[in-house]
Structure 1
Amino acid sequence: MFERFSKEAREIVIRPQDEARALGHEWIGTEHLLLAVLRHPQQPGAATLTRLGVTPASCRAAVAGVVSGAGDDLGAQDAEALRAFGIDLEEVRRRAEESFGQGALDDPASTGDTGARGPAGRHREGARALSRHLPFAARAKKALKDALREALARKDRRIGVEHVVLGLSRSDDNISLGVFTRLGVDPESLRQRVLSDLREAAA
């Protein structure tokens, strides 16, 4: 399948390694594919995201917020209510990380930390991750397969950035949906806009 990818789309398959490592993740998910897409803002699909106001910085912040569980299920009002009772969530997080290491309160399942607990364990896991290729999560593999399906459905001879974006718009896992929600982008609306842009370009 890889030989059918355009030069830019091939980079989108390769570059998520860098995006994942920069965020300290040990896997490649749809969120990292989306960040790699934004490295090509002039390409179809990526240009649509750019017009919707999505930038690499806003996407990176959205990914960090969803994957780290920043804010968890508590909104600003909940945090304020707890503060009234003398409970400061940020202070609790700060003290926990001071005692047990960065990300001590993060969910291991969402951070990809399946190794030893504690700062030393996380350091060993991080060092190991840097020395090997990171695995693609099932949701990322599905998005790439969906990109192929999109190209076949359109009878396109090669898979481009636009097909990857269309594939990502079909993702229905919690992380993908959470990132799109934080970005203020409705996946189905994104899909329709990309298709509309492609029709206009072909006219």
Structure 2
Amino acid sequence: MFERFSRPAREVVIGAQEEARSLGHDWIGTEHLLLSALRLPEQPGVSTLVRLGVSAETCRAAVSSVVGGADGDALGPEDAEALKAFGIDLEEIRRRAENAFGDGALDTPVSDPGESAPRRRRLGRLRRRESGARGDGGSGGTGELPGPSRHIPFTGRAKKTLELSLREAVARKDRHIGVEHVVLALLRGDDKISQGMFQRLGVAPKEMRDLVLADLRTAA
């Protein structure tokens, strides 16, 4: 599917990994695709968002709020699992987590905060079993978190967005997948991260989709 993407759309997909790394996240989600798209404010679809007040800065603040930036409140035991989904100010979170839960509290891989809690628990159990089989504590024997050069996987919701972008292109009878199709697919996102992000941006996804489509018709 990737070869069908236009050059700017490929830049969005590649840039999403850079956005995830810049935020210290261990996953690539819809939030990172949107942040990457906003690097190209003149592109169709993105230009509509920008015209209506959405910027990389406001989007980054919304992502930090939805995903879970650390605040100054004390952390209790009920926060242990949520902490593993945090990727912002990781060193401070690690310090607090280890103070509350002991050394190595964050040494398991970070999971996508958009996943359901049961799925996170299943993945956590699987990772602990794999760590026990390797005898390395889950960190390759180093006791360190994965380095910034490690490949960051796409979440299921991000993959769904890329698949939906193909459907958007087909529905419009376009011969390639452009940034506009990625934006339209993002606005169809029904996961809690996407919904929370757009809510904080003051964006009603359905209405915004209609405006993007209207701008595309005008430009055609």
TM-score (norm: length of structure 1): 0.76
User: Aligned equivalents of 1:5 and 1:39: distance in 2?
Assistant: 17
User: Aligned equivalents of 2:93 and 2:189: distance in 1?
Assistant: 38
Q: State whether residues 114 and 191 of structure 2, in contact with CA within 8 Å, keep that contact through their aligned partners in structure 1.
A: no
Q: 1:63 to 1:103 in 2, by over 3 A?
A: farther
**Counterpart residue number, 1:172:** 190
**Counterpart residue number, 1:149:** 167
User: Aligned equivalents of 2:145 and 2:114: distance in 1?
Assistant: 12
Q: How much is the aligned-residue C-alpha RMSD, in angstroms?
A: 2.9
User: Aligned equivalents of 1:102 and 1:138: distance in 2?
Assistant: 30
User: Aligned equivalents of 1:173 and 1:12: distance in 2?
Assistant: 20
Query: Cα offset for 1:92?
Result: 2.3
**Counterpart residue number, 1:64:** 64
Question: In the TM superposition, what are the counterparts of 1:1-203 in structure 2 within 5 Å?
Answer: 1-68=1-68, 90-92=72-74, 101=95, 110=113, 124-127=144-147, 130-202=148-220
User: Aligned equivalents of 1:134 and 1:52: distance in 2?
Assistant: 31
User: Aligned equivalents of 2:94 and 2:185: distance in 1?
Assistant: 39
* Alignment deviations for residues 67-126 of structure 1 (CA, whole Å, 9 cap, x no partner): 01667xxxxxxxxxxxxxxxxxx3525xx9879516779x9652999689xxxx8x8224
User: Aligned equivalents of 2:190 and 2:168: distance in 1?
Assistant: 16
User: Aligned equivalents of 2:15 and 2:92: distance in 1?
Assistant: 33
Q: State whether residues 114 and 193 of structure 2, in contact with CA within 8 Å, keep that contact through their aligned partners in structure 1.
A: no
Question: Structure 1 regions of 5+ residues with no counterpart?
Answer: 72-89
Question: Structure 2 regions of 5+ residues with no counterpart?
Answer: 80-90, 101-105, 129-138
Q: 1:103 to 1:161 in 2, by over 3 A?
A: farther
Q: 1:91 to 1:168 in 2, by over 3 A?
A: closer
Runs of 4+ in 1 over 2 A off after TM superposition: 90-93, 96-100, 102-105, 107-116
Query: Cα offset for 1:52?
Result: 1.4
Give the structure with the higher percent helix: 1
* Alignment deviations for residues 19-45 of structure 1 (CA, whole Å, 9 cap, x no partner): 001111001000000000001000110
Q: 1:131 to 1:111 in 2, by over 3 A?
A: farther
User: Aligned equivalents of 2:53 and 2:185: distance in 1?
Assistant: 20
Counting aligned pairs with the same residue, the percent is 56
Counterpart amino acid of residue 188 in structure 1: K
Q: 1:135 to 1:98 in 2, by over 3 A?
A: closer
TM-score (norm: length of structure 2): 0.71
